[in-house]
Structure 1
Amino acid sequence: MHVIDTPAMPPATRDAFLTLIGPERADRLQDAARRLRRRLDGGTLWHVNSTAAGGGVAEMLHVLVPFYRALGVPARWAVVDGDPAFFDTTKRLGNLAYGSVQDADRLRPGDLDGYTRHLAAEAERLRTVLGPADVLLLHDHQTAGLVPGLSSVTAGVHWRCHVGVDAPTPGSREAWAALAPLLEKADGVVFSVRRHIPEELAHHRAAVIPPVLWPFAPKNEPLPADRLPGLLERCGLGPGDAPGYVLADGPRDPAAPLVVQVSRWDRLKDMHAVLTGFAAVPDAHLALIGPDPASIPDDVEQAHWFEVCRAAWTALPPGVRRRTRLVCLPMHDLDDNARLVNAAQRAAGLVVQKSLAEGFGLTVTEAMWKARPVVGSAVGGIADQIDHGRTGLLLDDPHDLAAFARLVTDVTGGAIDGAALGRRARARVHGAYLPDSDLLAVTGLLLT
């Protein structure tokens, strides 16, 4: 276990956010912060997850912890450590919670014992920094095993789940059979999507709090026009030669429509199938963008799924391969990585997220904030974010590659007004998915 030292949010940044949301929302936000401070009564609101880099939860916590503190709410962030065996187990637990029925994702004898033993030790380490008035928000399946060891030492322990499946499967039932007993002593559970609350937790007090994005983060801030070409060159999306971390067969035609998917290299993000489906889209170029697979310690399968994508890319017809590229962005400087993603999304004429399952889909939120049209699978939180035909386009069956290609072609070919979709998408994010909604929801959670 280690504590993340997040930098303070400058008052000018806090004030810029209050201006962005307007006086009525700002007043509600500040009133909620006062009520939350009174509820904590000298304690601290702790967030606990399993990585400080990579993935939507870590990105969100880099913002939410300083944001809460800027509003006077004591908040801190701790990360549980683990060895490859622990993260192998949690990866399979996550895949099962997403509904996987693959034998490779089944829990093996001894997995849960090792998982609970490890988290019992991590709970002991956490106890050394916690006070009796503190409240914990534990994030995802990597932390569920902390609940038994921490429920009696603080003023509250809530578990927040960012993964889920729209309809139960044998795999998801296996995951919840393992996780639910560990959550018995939790004061409440939180999900991003209401239909993801499993029947195994029906007796718990449950809340729905979707993730949020920070509009001034390097991934979402406006980019000066003179910076965009250089950033795109570094993404391998400019007219020049691609850097070594980009798999490409020649330069990108800057006049051609650009389609982008930004995801982890993960089976459920279905990046290899995006390549296959894109072969039927004429003229446009595609960039699949993910992190350096070696840089995410809590996801031990990234390298495998990148190699699956590499094989799918290599198998494409030469003409299609020249219109597609795989980008493994470096992660040693998180702000720099985020600006590269920002540039790629802003340069895209269309952003796609053809996930097979999704907890929420912050990459969709990010693209919508940038007023980009989005084609997303009608799964998880993507279906909650996108109003089909108004704020984006939904693919009813993520396995239907022909339908995927048709939706993409409708936008890249001009049959659908992507700019109008994008404008309405940005308004949707402004109203529902900025951090004031998180603080108001957490205040309601802790005061009820």
Structure 2
Amino acid sequence: MRAQPKYSRRVEDYREIIGDKAYNELIQIASKLEGKRLVHVNSTSYGGGVAEILHSVVPLMRSLGIDAEWQVLEAEQDFFQVTKKIHNALQGNRKLELTEEERRKYLEWNRYNAEILDLDADIVLIHDPQPMAIPFYARKRGRVWVWRCHIDLSSPNEKVYKFVSQFLPLYNGVIVHSEEYVKPEFENRVLISPPSIDPLSDKNKPLEPKLVESIAGKFGVDPAKPVLAKVARFDPWKDVFSAVDVYRIVAKRYPEAQLLLISSMARDDPEGTVFYRKVVEYVAGDRNVFILTDEQGVHDIEVNAFQRITTVGLHTAVKEGFGLAVTEFLWKNVPVVARPVGGVKKQVIENVTGLTGWSPEELSEKVLHLLRNPEDRARLGRAGREHVLENFVITRHTQRYLSFTYSLLS
């Protein structure tokens, strides 16, 4: 199924943000791929960081003269039950095993999508494990195949990794977020490339203060009081429960503190509803904890507004491919207190762009320090935004993609 990006983008729109040097470098590499057809394939057009990136990357590539397309898998819910299991196993759940029926279901839906998706292209970029088997059935329609893995592969379930890694020889190149995720099977053809935010997207563009105040008021949040916020799916790896624990410790010193738990219910994540209910039960009706989802009308503009009134961002995931929610906070000059896992380590640099810890007690002490020291909050916030500008904006991300795919074509 062909996905339609929600944004229109011109590369010129980013020039003032990124500067002439970065702009000219992007134009130069894009000129080498002008007219080439590049197809992105992923599992959903809504919910989660991959879809968010593609809504901006695809129109930006088109603006650069590349014939970029976005194809989304068509499958029933039973397929996504299997792929969520694969996702959890690759991120380190060693208890999981795929049954023969689950393997058959996974392969059958990949075969079906290989037949119905438009994959005739110079470059086919497959995102994550869900569509990973497609090139096996695609009869070489793509000239160059690239697997883009957005999850933490540092310590996978070996049995499940063995199953998906059988498809790696079908790929000319692999892209991962961090050096920690590189495996021997693809170490000779890998690009290390963190993902990015789009500074012009609804979630990251500047907002008028009156609009921010209006959105906060609509949902009963008081920007004049301390606001802790976590943006994440309802997913076991995100450990939303620890964010609540941190808030409860902080609230003993700051009874007026508020916690915002912001999420979207993605189509390809069947566990979301289950963990949402568990979090609601865990919060136990605390009036200063706000569970804010797309089902309540919280979309990108609202997330943007909530992040802008946040005093300290929280990221309590125990595994994380990268953590674009962290990037979003940093872009808005909000310091983040986080567990140093996966790609978060590339973003939250201790006492430079934020503070790190592991236990709820340690994390809460770091939050309390920032609540007591506004000068430190401001210093870390400024450094965080600069760090994102240098490393994690959509233009830099696109430039790395284009340089890598050009090298593979050559």
TM-score range, shorter chain: over 0.9
**Secondary structure of residue in 1 paired with 2:209:** coil
Q: 1:407 to 1:106 in 2, by over 3 A?
A: farther
Query: After the TM superposition, which residues 307-322 of structure 1 pair with which residues of structure 2 at under 5 Å, given as runs?
Result: 307-314=277-284, 321-322=286-287
- Counterpart of 1:279 in structure 2 is 248
- Report the TM-score, using the length of structure 2 for normalisation: 0.93
How large is the Cα RMSD of the aligned pairs? 1.9
Q: 1:374 to 1:151 in 2, by over 3 A?
A: farther
Query: After the TM superposition, which residues 43-58 of structure 1 pair with which residues of structure 2 at under 5 Å, given as runs?
Result: 43-58=36-51
Mapped to 1, the partners of 2:19 and 2:127 lie a distance apart of 30
Contact 1:190-1:206 at 8 Å conserved across structures: yes
Give CA deviations for 1:85-137 in whole Å, capped at 9, x if unaligned: 10000001111111123x4x4323321111011101110112xx333x52100
Mapped to 2, the partners of 1:275 and 1:416 lie a distance apart of 26
Contact 1:373-1:391 at 8 Å conserved across structures: yes
Query: After the TM superposition, which residues 26-425 of structure 1 pair with which residues of structure 2 at under 5 Å, given as runs?
Result: 26-37=23-34, 42-101=35-94, 103=95, 105-126=96-117, 129-131=118-120, 133-150=121-138, 152-166=140-154, 168-169=155-156, 171=157, 173-199=158-184, 201-202=185-186, 205-238=189-222, 254-281=223-250, 282-283=253-254, 284-291=257-264, 293=265, 296-314=266-284, 321-330=286-295, 337-395=299-357, 397=358, 400-414=359-373, 417-425=376-384
The aligned amino acid for 1:51 is T
Mapped to 2, the partners of 1:192 and 1:269 lie a distance apart of 18
Q: CA deviation at 1:190?
A: 0.8
Segments of structure 2 that go 5 or more residues without pairing to the other structure are none
Contact 2:42-2:72 at 8 Å conserved across structures: yes
Mapped to 2, the partners of 1:6 and 1:185 lie a distance apart of 28
Q: CA deviation at 1:84?
A: 1.3
Q: CA deviation at 1:357?
A: 0.3
More deviation, 116-125/323-332: 323-332
Q: Percent identity?
A: 28
Aligned residues: 403
Q: 1:164 to 1:367 in 2, by over 3 A?
A: same
Contact 1:47-1:136 at 8 Å conserved across structures: yes
Q: CA deviation at 1:165?
A: 4.2
More deviation, 144-153/181-190: 144-153
Mapped to 1, the partners of 2:238 and 2:51 lie a distance apart of 18
Q: 1:174 to 1:408 in 2, by over 3 A?
A: farther
Q: CA deviation at 1:416?
A: 6.8
Contact 1:268-1:356 at 8 Å conserved across structures: yes
Give CA deviations for 1:57-78 in whole Å, capped at 9, x if unaligned: 0000000000111111110100
Q: CA deviation at 1:261?
A: 0.3
The aligned amino acid for 2:390 is G
- Report the TM-score, using the length of structure 1 for normalisation: 0.86
- Counterpart of 1:241 in structure 2 is none
**Secondary structure of residue in 2 paired with 1:9:** coil
Contact 1:223-1:343 at 8 Å conserved across structures: yes
Structure 1 segments, 4+ long, off by >4 Å, are none
Contact 2:330-2:381 at 8 Å conserved across structures: yes
